[in-house]
Amino acid sequence: MGLEEANCSEENGDKKEKLPQIGTITLHCFSDLSRTLPTTFVYLLKECYIHGTFKATAKFRILQQQVVKALDNAPPAGPSNYIVQCLYVLPIFGPAYAEGFSHLLLSSLRRFCRLHSSRDSSADSSEAKILAAHLFLDVLAGLVIQEERILMKLLEDFDIKLKDIGRAICGSVVHADCSRIAKERVENYIFQLIESQSYINAVHLLERFSLRICSQSLLDSMIKDSQFKAAEKWATFMGKQMVCYLIQWYIDKKMLKDAYTMIKENCLKQEFPDAYYQYKEISMKKLAEKGCWDVAEFKTNNDQQLLLYLVYLALEAGYSEKVADLCARYSLEGFSRDPVPEASPPPTRYLHLSDLNLEDVIWVENVERLIDATCQIEGNKVVGIDCEWRPNYVKGREQNKVSILQIASERKVFIIDLIKLSKDDPNSLNSCIRRILCSHRILKLGYNLQCDLHQLSYSYEELECFQHYDMLLDVQKMFKESRGGLSGLTKKILGAGLNKTRRNSNWEQRPLHPNQLEYAALDAAVLIPIFHHVCSQPNTTSAKTGRPKFEWKSHIVSHLSNTKSFPRSQS
């Protein structure tokens, strides 16, 4: 056998598979497997693996490619037969290699068969199937050691049926008792798997050989041992009665998500309407609490009961425009618009603009207002910044552009219509925003700023103003505990949280609803009193210098032209 260094770009049909250049592996040129014993072949593979310096995954892929090539020159008995012979001898190399190399050989054979699907290999497959059935029986008898997982793959890859096991037992003389003996052997093995609590493999064999030797007792054992995946697989195989039994057990144990999944997969909504709707309503409530109203509406699937519940959630949240929108769109006439029933818990106290003593919220949609807003903002030492965009719930679809940019001073909040201004006069927008973001005289506060800046620069990559900034402070980084987000932080410091029901609303609609404007304004405005709260706390003292140190100053960042982001030095 000759030796060669592995090339990291191996030919695979008409494609080349690129492997990372992270090491080397010495390969044997298996030019003629008809002259190579399975034991020798496996030994050489083992040596190649041991002495290779690639990482394990790369070595596996390289060796897999070589095995696929080698199977083109398999002995006359055929590649499938040759692989089964290799599986027979693999255990002699010890448990450290047996399972991994069994996976390697079986996966290589599958790949070889896909690449040569047009080749006539019926004779090879027929003989290999019987030989694989012999291997299965020898493992059951303890004559050959193979892991359960390899045994399951062997049965699947060679599509072994009870009749094949019967032929392996009886040889060429097939008689009436062959099927009975084969069934008994398999059943005994299944009982061993159940005893060892290897339920998933037991169910796999019961399904493969269409055996119904157990019923509710097996299901109870799986449930008792918390083997729920195996229990679901077994119940589905046994039929509706067992599925309903498992669903009811889930319901009794308050495992509503599992019950709902089984109900949906087996079309049993009519049999378990209460559990179905209870789980759907819990899911919709969680979405509503996160402000994902469009997702919650989509999940109703036009179900009248769920739509009414969604309207109730909107009423409870004080989201009046959503109530009106849902009632109009789905013709929910006569739905009560009264306050939430007395049985409901008292509504949560939320922060309002009036609590912050703000003078005005100014909508900025033209250049004149933008220039005026910029001049007013430049007269402040500290401002709060936030932005909003319409969420995208379709996987793979391009993210929507940032719709508005909110900049708050002590007394006013300016809400800038980025979509309109970027179309009408991008140069003026670029100039004004740059004057604010790059000013070293204005401290700009934000919450989770990196996300907002990334979204702004992505949305308006043609504008330089969002690429550079100076004196930015992420309020989130000033607090060790950030649970609850900005709303949680606001509640902790100002005594009331933010109503997040409108977070994921349609920010591209014009005009924005007054409640949307209040939500947007608050997200920027609350940053200033939070910052003042931090500054009002007693200063800690540096052990080295004895001088007061201001922890928040170390979090100020800048990113100016031809520079990288860097923390601003303390002063």
Instruction: Give the ranges where 317-441 is alpha helix by DSSP (H).
Output: 320-329, 367-377, 418-424, 426-437
d(CA 280, CA 260) in angstroms, rounded, equals 8
pLDDT value, residue 12: 42
Chain segment 414-468, per-residue pLDDT in tens: 999 999 999 999 999 999 999 999 999 999 999 988 889 889 999 999 999 999 9
Helix or strand holding residue 489 (H, E): helix 485-494
- Going by pLDDT thresholds of 50, 70 and 90, the confidence category of residue 473 is very high
Tell me the pLDDT tens digit for each residue of 515-559: 899 999 999 999 999 999 888 877 654 455 444 455 778 888 888
Q: What are phi and psi of 342, to 5 degrees?
A: -60, -25
Q: How far apart are CA 452 and CA 433, in angstroms?
A: 14
Q: What is the CA radius of gyration of the chain?
A: 34
Higher pLDDT, 502 or 192: 192
Strands (DSSP E) found in 348-448: 360-364, 382-389, 402-408, 412-417, 443-446
How buried is residue 200: exposed, middle or buried, by Cβ count under 10 Å (0-12/13-18/19+)? middle
**Residue 339 confidence (pLDDT) above 60:** no
Burial tier of 230 (Cβ tally within 10 Å: 0-12, 13-18, 19+): buried
CB atoms within 10 A of CB 119: 13
- Within 13 A of 292's CA, how many CA atoms are on the CB side? 13
Tell me which residue of 364, 408, 335, 389 sits closest to 506, measured CA to CA.
Answer: 389
Please give the pLDDT value at position 27. 61
CA 113 vs CA 17, 28, 73, 121: distances in Å:
18, 22, 14, 9
Question: Are 199 and 222 contacting, i.e. CB atoms less than 8 angstroms apart?
Answer: yes
pLDDT over 80 (residue 283): yes
User: pLDDT band for position 6 (50/70/90)?
Assistant: very low
Predicted confidence (pLDDT) at residue 310 exceeds the cutoff of 70: yes
When pLDDT is averaged across residues 56-75 and rounded to a whole number, the result is 86
pLDDT of 120 reads 62
* Mean pLDDT of the residues in the chain: 84
The arrangement of secondary structure in 353-567, i.e. its CATH architecture, is 2-Layer Sandwich (3.30)
CB 287 within 8 A of CB 295: yes
Neighbouring CB atoms inside 10 A of 318's CB total 17
pLDDT at 28 over 90: no
The model's confidence at residue 196, banded by pLDDT at 50, 70 and 90, is: very high
What are the tokens at 470?
């100076």
Closest CA to 278 of 297, 306, 303: 306
Of 282-296, 406-420, 449-463, which one has max mean pLDDT? 406-420
Q: Select the more confidently predicted residue: 104 or 290.
A: 104
The domain segmentation of the chain, as residue ranges, is: 3-160, 292-329, 353-567
CA distance linking residue 84 with residue 67, whole number of Å: 14
Read off the DSSP letter of residue 144.
S
| Band (340; pLDDT cuts 50, 70, 90) | very low
**Total H helices, total E strands in the chain:** 24, 14
Distances (CA, A) of 528 to 156, 408, 470, 491: 65, 8, 18, 14
pLDDT score of 4? 43
pLDDT score at 21: 44
CA–CA separation, 127 and 50 (whole Å): 33
3 state DSSP class of 200: helix
Q: What are the residues facing 541 on neighbouring strands?
A: 548
What does the pLDDT read at residue 31? 60
- Report pLDDT for 561: 67
* pLDDT band for position 571 (cuts 50, 70, 90): very low
Q: Which residue has the higher pLDDT, 317 or 414?
A: 414
* pLDDT on residue 520: 95
> What local confidence, expressed as pLDDT, does residue 170 receive?
87
pLDDT digits (tens, 9 = 90+) for 171-185: 877 677 888 899 999
pLDDT in tens, 89-133: 999 888 888 899 999 999 999 999 888 877 666 667 888 999 999
Provide the residue type at 382 as one letter: V
Pairing of strands 3-5, 443-446: unpaired
Q: Is residue 19 a contact partner of residue 58, using CB atoms and an 8 Å limit? A: yes
For residue 478 the two structure tokens come to 């000033």
CA–CA distances in Å: residue 234 to residues 159, 254, 259, 265, 272: 20, 21, 15, 14, 20
Q: What pLDDT is attached to residue 13?
A: 42
Residues 242 and 218: beta-carbon distance below 8 Å: no
Confidence of residue 30 (pLDDT cuts 50, 70, 90): low
Those residues with Cβ within 8 angstroms of residue 251's Cβ, 6 or more apart along the chain or in another chain: 259, 272, 275
pLDDT at site 540: 52
Angle between helices 199-208 and 228-238 (to 10 degrees): 20
Structure-token pair, residue 232: 């679901």
CA angle 15, 19, 24 (to 5 degrees): 130
The mean pLDDT value for 137-153 works out to 92
**Nearest to residue 229, comparing CAs of 261, 192, 269, 253?**
261
**Would the pLDDT of 346 be above 60?**
no
Dist CA 505 CA 388 (whole Å): 10
Note whether 133 and 87 are within 8 A (CB): no
Confidence of residue 371 (pLDDT cuts 50, 70, 90): very high
Alpha-carbon distance of 459 to 466, in angstroms, equals 10
Which residue do the tokens 């005594």 mark? 495
